[in-house]
Amino acid sequence: MNHEDLRLWSKRAADWAADYHAGLRDRAVRAPLVPGKIAAQLADTAPELPDPVEAIWADFERIVPDGMTHWQHPRFFAYFPANASPASMLAEQLTNAMACNALIWQTSPAATEIEQKMVAWLAEAVGLPDGFVGTIHDTATTATLSAVLTMRERALDWHGLEDGLAGGPTLRFYASAETHSSVDKAIRVAGIGQRNLVKVPVDDDRAMTGDALQAAIRADRAAGLVPAGVILCAGGTSVGAFDRIGDCIGVAKAEGIPTHVDAAWAGSAMICPEFRELWAGVEGADSIVMNPHKWLGAQFDCSVQFLRDPGPQVRTLGLRPSYLETAGREEIVNFNEWTVPLGRRFRALKLWFTLRAYGLEGLRTRIRNHVAWAIEARDAVAALPGVDIVTEPRLSLFSFALADEAATAALLQRINDDGRIYLTQTRVDGRLAIRVQVGSFDCQREDVMIIAKTIKEMLAQWSTAPSASP
Ligand SMILES: *Cc1c(COP(=O)(O)O)cnc(C)c1O
């Protein structure tokens, strides 16, 4: 296959893509779960001689689409979305064609400079004050790891990088139990140790408060431990919990401890001023992560980290060996020095296309619709007999359950086997609950209204089934 073949097949791929998206509503959202079924259809070894593209293409069509969970399906209500606007897909096609590596400015000047601009556009769009800069990572996991490594080194006065952690003080980090597992992972990878991530108790609203944080820090100081960082939850993955961001940042600042805010999902909603109350005080944070790939239409992967001052992070993660120097251009930004990997994709292009193709107002309308439809869906689900709302809508996320845990699990399985919608589970104070979040880029009100209709039908089939169980 050569570049002329690529021209032909790319046109075919564009048609395939358009048909695929137009037909998504006719597909089950989730792939049937039969482990090994896909692998069994592939040859056991790589071919010695070239396969014709026709054959590769035919196998793709035969094997892959039916083996996928369709993340861009308008009735994908599971996890959090990885929503992708058509404009971002177009940008990714161009990025694919250039196949660049944006490791330093010189290797892709446009990628670096558009990335700087997009971070600035987005900082303003979510209401952050002047002065924040930032970078685009693959995922929030990487952004949070970068922030944790930086906080670690600040606490160690940058000795950890040279000397390692052995024999040093016991560093302590603070977060609520509602924070994402990526925070635990960052703490583990950074050599802090899980037991030194203090899970501060939350209040009735599942929020870490300034007082609770203060108490935890005080107890640690009294025990001779060294508080090193606070990680705040702005829109938890389980049920959308928000810590008291402003209060906690106030406590951390008074204690001289840096802060990182995880707004991976909810950050996108902050382009709507009416939701900013939820993270009030965020402008005091040292670092904030949000994923435009979750709810802003800039497809996976696109995770933006805002930094009040990039200096500490660049000092922690930046290395500039002679083979990465750009002669006579010492002042330019080399984004690999802001993050863990050296090689980097050109992720800013899809953000540029998306923000321009819909405008902030177009994106706000989508998010406002999702939130309003989630509230409608909550009311329709609450009206079903035997169904309890476990957590009320937080932005576009709520959860529900049946009285009996086994019945809740069985209901979830029936819903997902039915295929019209896709939901996933969590635990709320130990109780199994089914999460509903609305955020697919193309979803319409009718798609959301199918949630309660499907649940109602599943419950009705159940009560008439001969061996109704459990
Ligand atoms: C999804 C999510 C993450 C992890 O995001 P990745 O980009 O997949 O690493 C972290 N925190 C929260 C709150 C999330 O919702």
* pLDDT computed for residue 33 by the predictor: 72
**The domain 3-70 belongs to what CATH superfamily?**
dopa decarboxylase, N-terminal domain (1.20.1340.10)
Residue to substitute in 265, 287, 347, 394 for testing ligand 1 pocket (most ligand atoms within 8 angstroms of CB)? 265
Please give the distance, rounded to the nearest whole angstrom, from the Cα atom of residue 198 to the centre of ligand 1.
Answer: 20
Write down the domain spans for the chain.
Answer: 3-70, 101-345, 361-460
DSSP states along 82-112: ----HHHHHHHHHHHHH----SSGGG-HHHH
pLDDT tens digits, 384-411: 999 999 999 999 999 999 999 999 999 9
pLDDT tens digits, 24-54: 999 999 987 789 999 999 999 999 999 999 9
Q: State the chain's mean pLDDT as an integer.
A: 95
Please give the distance, rounded to the nearest whole angstrom, from the Cα atom of residue 162 to the centre of ligand 1.
Answer: 30
pLDDT tens digits, 233-264: 999 999 999 999 999 999 999 999 999 999 99
Task: Report CA-CA distances (Å) from 311 to 150, 155, 290, 335, 337.
Answer: 10, 15, 20, 12, 10
Atom of ligand 1 minimally distant from the CA of 233: 13
* Residue 424, beta-bridge partner list: 435
Residue 466 has pLDDT above 60, yes or no: no
Atom of ligand 1 minimally distant from the CA of 294: 1
Mean pLDDT confidence for 92-112: 93
Residue to substitute in 176, 232, 291, 302 for testing ligand 1 pocket (most ligand atoms within 8 angstroms of CB)? 291
Please give the distance, rounded to the nearest whole angstrom, from the Cα atom of residue 378 to the centre of ligand 1.
Answer: 24
* Pair of tokens at residue 166: 């052995």
pLDDT tens digits, 179-224: 999 999 999 999 999 999 999 999 999 999 999 999 999 999 999 9
Residue to substitute in 182, 293, 301 for testing ligand 1 pocket (most ligand atoms within 8 angstroms of CB)? 182
Please give the distance, rounded to the nearest whole angstrom, from the Cα atom of residue 10 to the centre of ligand 1.
Answer: 32
Residues in the chain: 470
DSSP states along 117-175: HHHHHHHHHTTPPTT-EEEEES-HHHHHHHHHHHHHHHHTTT-HHHH-STTS--EEEEE
Q: Tell me which residue has its CA closest to atom 12 in ligand 1.
A: 264
Please give the distance, rounded to the nearest whole angstrom, from the Cα atom of residue 346 to the centre of ligand 1.
Answer: 20
- Cβ neighbours, 10 Å, residue 11: 10
Atom of ligand 1 minimally distant from the CA of 236: 13
Please give the distance, rounded to the nearest whole angstrom, from the Cα atom of residue 260 to the centre of ligand 1.
Answer: 14
The hierarchical CATH code for the domain 101-345 is: 3.40.640.10
In this structure, are residues 316 and 153 in contact, taking their beta carbons and an 8 Å threshold? yes
In this structure, are residues 306 and 134 in contact, taking their beta carbons and an 8 Å threshold? yes
Lowest mean pLDDT among 9-13, 61-65, 276-280, 460-464: 460-464
Atom of ligand 1 minimally distant from the CA of 179: 13
Please give the distance, rounded to the nearest whole angstrom, from the Cα atom of residue 57 to the centre of ligand 1.
Answer: 33
Reported confidence tier of residue 470, pLDDT bands at 50, 70, 90: very low
Sign (positive or negative) of CA dihedral 103, 105, 110, 112: positive
Please give the distance, rounded to the nearest whole angstrom, from the Cα atom of residue 289 to the centre of ligand 1.
Answer: 9
- Cβ neighbours, 10 Å, residue 64: 11
Residue 280 C-alpha from the chain's centroid: 21
Atom of ligand 1 minimally distant from the CA of 234: 13
Long-range contacts of 162-165 (CB under 8 A, 24+ apart): 165/191
Q: Tell me which residue has its CA closest to atom 8 in ligand 1.
A: 139
Q: Tell me which residue has its CA closest to atom 4 in ligand 1.
A: 140
* pLDDT computed for residue 464 by the predictor: 67
Q: Tell me which residue has its CA closest to atom 1 in ligand 1.
A: 264
Which strand ranges, in their side-by-side order, compose the sheet holding 197-200?
A: 133-137, 303-307, 287-290, 259-262, 226-233, 171-176, 197-200
The helix/strand/coil state of 200 is: strand
Which strand ranges, in their side-by-side order, compose the sheet holding 431-437?
A: 387-394, 397-402, 431-437, 424-428
Please give the distance, rounded to the nearest whole angstrom, from the Cα atom of residue 264 to the centre of ligand 1.
Answer: 5
* Pair of tokens at residue 256: 């001289």
In this structure, are residues 413 and 461 in contact, taking their beta carbons and an 8 Å threshold? no
> Which residues have any ligand 1 atom within 6 Å of their CB?
80, 139-141, 180, 182, 235-237, 262, 264-265, 291, 303
The helix/strand/coil state of 463 is: helix
In this structure, are residues 63 and 37 in contact, taking their beta carbons and an 8 Å threshold? no
* pLDDT computed for residue 329 by the predictor: 73
Residue to substitute in 83, 243, 262 for testing ligand 1 pocket (most ligand atoms within 8 angstroms of CB)? 262
Residue 120 has pLDDT above 70, yes or no: yes
At the top level of CATH, the class of 361-460 is: alpha beta
* DSSP code for 224: T
Residue to substitute in 141, 146, 299, 303 for testing ligand 1 pocket (most ligand atoms within 8 angstroms of CB)? 141
Please give the distance, rounded to the nearest whole angstrom, from the Cα atom of residue 35 to the centre of ligand 1.
Answer: 26
Among 307, 294, 252, CA closest to 128: 307
Please, which residues have CB within 8 angstroms of residue 13's CB and are 6 or more apart in sequence? none
Please give the distance, rounded to the nearest whole angstrom, from the Cα atom of residue 182 to the centre of ligand 1.
Answer: 7
Q: Tell me which residue has its CA closest to atom 2 in ligand 1.
A: 264
Residue 467 has pLDDT above 60, yes or no: no
